[in-house]
Structure 1
Amino acid sequence: MEVLTLQGEIDLFTAPEVSAQLDAATARPRTELVVDLRPVTFMDCSGLSVLCRARKRLLRGGVGIRLVVHDSAVLRLLRLTGLAEVFDTVADLPHEVPALIG
């Protein structure tokens, strides 16, 4: 399991950079990717799109993705779009995470 920490705003302007980070993180075989969204201050549909793309890529490889979400606005966005039921979301990082990337 590895962690990719995203921060700041994830929107139309920053989505290409975030997408590149997620592409790099999902290119390596692993058991699971944890995306820490706690430092994210804003996310729009562009951010959701890159997360969904990463999820699809990992699922094709037989592994999962977990989102660490603490911000109520990001949680609300996931719930309103129905993605809260698609993604595995937790409030804090799992204790067994061996190394951080990102």
Structure 2
Amino acid sequence: MGLVSRHKDRIRQGSDHDEFIESLREGEAAFAYYRVQRPKGMRYILVAWAGKAASHIMQSKADVARPSLKGVVKDFTVEIKTSDLADLTPEKIQNKVLSVSN
């Protein structure tokens, strides 16, 4: 997974779900490219995050940037746009991938 924000020091890779969740901040908007291993191969998820404490301007800028990002990052199974960490549990992510893959 990778998290991209407006801060260059926040671009990172990792393989730990908890680390991914900790990197999402309530006062920021960010994008993440999340990888899930499935029996039929890897599946990728594009996460568009806008924390509940992020300003409306920051949320709007992320909404405007999202289509451009999707034009560059084309290989993903599902997109999750959320401001709630409860939407990003491993189980919910797996269920979204399963619902699209079947």
Normalised by the shorter chain, which TM-score bucket?
Answer: 0.3 to 0.5
Greater C-alpha Rg: 2
For normalisation by structure 1, the TM-score amounts to: 0.40
User: Which structure carries more relative contact order (alpha carbon 8 Å, separation 6+)?
Assistant: 1
For normalisation by structure 2, the TM-score amounts to: 0.40
